[in-house]
Amino acid sequence: MIELHWTRDQVLDQVDIPFLEDLRRAWAECPPLRRMAAAYLGYKPKARPSANYHELLAMFPNGTIR
């Protein structure tokens, strides 16, 4: 939405999976200006939490939380 300057409703009405795949491919070749500027200035976004549930399960080897 930010990169395209579209409203939420426009995105919901016009975006489908093939469009997202094309957009990701295009941005891989030529990233949006705000991302290039952030990289140039050394900004690194916060790390996202892990989506690997095996790491979470490993914290509780007996299967109980105390």
Q: CA-CA distance, 41 to 31, in Å (whole number)? A: 15
Report how far residue 54's alpha carbon sits from residue 38's, in angstroms, rounded to the nearest whole number. 33
What is the structure's pLDDT at 1?
A: 52
Per-residue pLDDT, 41: 94
Give me the pLDDT at residue 20, please. 86
pLDDT in tens, the chain (66 residues): 567 788 888 888 888 888 889 988 998 898 888 888 999 999 988 888 877 888 778 878 777 766
| Among candidate residues 31, 49, 51, 29, the one with its CA nearest the CA of residue 40 | 31
